[in-house]
Amino acid sequence: MEKIKCLIIGSGPAGYTAAIYTSRANLSPVLYEGIQPGGQLTTTNEIENFPGYPDGVSGFQMMEDLKKQAARFGADIRPGIATSCDLSQSPYKVIIDGKKQIETEVLIICTGATAKYLGIPDEVKYGGIGVSACATCDGFFYRKKTVAVVGGGDSACEEAIYLAGLANKVYLIVRKDHLRAAKIMQERALNHPKIEVLFNTNTLGLFGEKTVEGAHLVKYAGTPQEEKFDIAIDGFFLAIGHTPNSAIFKDYLELDETGYIKTQGRSAKTAIPGVFAAGDVADPYYRQAITAAGSGCIAAIEAERYLAEIPC
Ligand code: NDP
């Protein structure tokens, strides 16, 4: 068992920003990188909307830079996944890789969220070369091109509308005969001249020589009207929801119906004193690298204040 002052779980922009701030505040943070070291951004080709990189930067490079910056101030960055925890009393206990126990005075949870994929092999084959789960991150590369968005919720409509501002044409592939999004979002998507909504349609696969050139689709699958057809596209966007990586905390923290950790107001505080949540695991709305970094900073400042107020 190891006793520490500050434990950060997760190595996306929230985790590393929390590590930079807490190490500079002499809290000697230990950061465990989690399942995907560097977080979701490591799978993004190029980031052009993070302030301070006028020529853009690869997701991998940005996460390497953030890691280096945290290490420079003494953050102890380790490989390992938090597999269970006991937050019933302070100091809080977290088990790493099913065996190592850490006892910590403050815990900053930055475990992120994982975009859902359809589960077809072509999504992996064309990952980063035509397949994306983030229109805001990658839409710019499809200016004046044709793209498809899968999903029928608010995210799918929002991403389709966003992409329609850049691309020449957007297919919205919806598995049911209706959209689930809010009425106003539905109307905007359905009435947009560049968006064609394909209801009752599922994706069978993708094709293309080097990058995505099209999708194999099926309408009314499994019924007598079943019809298979192809569409020509340059990009394939998933917008079928995200899963916040909060499962190990569910017995202790309040989660919303999707599993996002609830924080108090504009802060990163959870209902447990000394336990903070930042980044995508607590953010169903913005999901941007810059907002995650900002919330990691908030969590770190609050952690520092919390420790300063605890009587010795
Ligand atoms: P949702 O869970 O609301 O919607 C997911 C969509 O993806 C549904 O249409 C669902 O279809 C479809 N889907 C799921 N799995 C598959 C699959 N395997 N194949 C094809 N389609 C699939 O997720 P969102 O990310 O859209 O929204 C999450 C939350 O965030 C919601 O509460 C939403 O309101 C909120 N949000 C709000 C925004 C805003 O207010 N501006 C913007 C974005 C999100 P089906 O309907 O058939 O189940």
pLDDT score recorded for residue 128: 86
Exposed e or buried b per residue across 131-166, where buried means at least 16 C-beta atoms within 10 angstroms of its C-beta: bbbbbebbbebbeeebbbbbbbbbbbbbbbbbbbeb
Contact in structure between 137 and 164 (CB atoms under 8 Å):
no
Q: Is the C-beta atom of 176 inside 6 A of ligand 1?
A: yes
For residues 21 and 303, give the distance between their C-alpha atoms in angstroms, rounded to a whole number.
10
Is 297 known to be catalytic? Answer: no
Distance 301 CA to ligand 1 centre (A): 33
Question: Which of 154, 200, 257 is the best mutation target for the ligand 1 pocket, counting ligand atoms within 8 Å of the beta carbon and taking the most?
Answer: 154
Q: Is the C-beta atom of 244 inside 6 A of ligand 1?
A: no
pLDDT score recorded for residue 36: 85
Length, in residues, of the chain: 312
| Alpha-carbon dihedral angle through residues 154, 159, 162, 165, given to the nearest 10 degrees | -120
Domains defined for the chain, CATH in brackets: 2-114+242-309 (3.50.50.60), 117-238 (3.50.50.60)
pTM of the model: 0.79
Helix or strand holding residue 296 (H, E): helix 289-309
The residue whose C-alpha atom lies closest to atom 31 belonging to ligand 1 is: 154
Q: Pick from 241, 281, 243: which is nearest to 263 by CA?
A: 281
The active-site residue, picked from 6, 85, 110, 134, is 134
Is 137 known to be catalytic? Answer: yes
Q: Is the C-beta atom of 134 inside 6 A of ligand 1?
A: no
Q: Is 298 helix (H, G, I), strand (E, B) or coil?
A: helix
pLDDT score recorded for residue 166: 97
Is 97 known to be catalytic? Answer: no
Q: Is the C-beta atom of 284 inside 6 A of ligand 1?
A: yes
Q: What is the pLDDT along the chain (312 residues), one digit of tens a residue?
A: 999 999 999 999 999 999 999 999 999 999 999 988 888 787 666 788 899 999 999 888 999 999 999 999 999 999 999 999 999 999 999 999 999 999 999 999 999 998 899 999 999 999 989 999 988 888 999 999 999 999 999 889 999 999 999 999 999 999 999 999 999 999 999 999 999 999 999 999 999 999 999 999 999 999 999 999 999 999 999 999 889 999 999 999 999 999 999 999 999 999 999 999 999 999 988 988 999 999 999 999 999 999 999 765
Q: Is the C-beta atom of 259 inside 6 A of ligand 1?
A: no
How does DSSP classify residue 140?
G
pLDDT score recorded for residue 78: 98
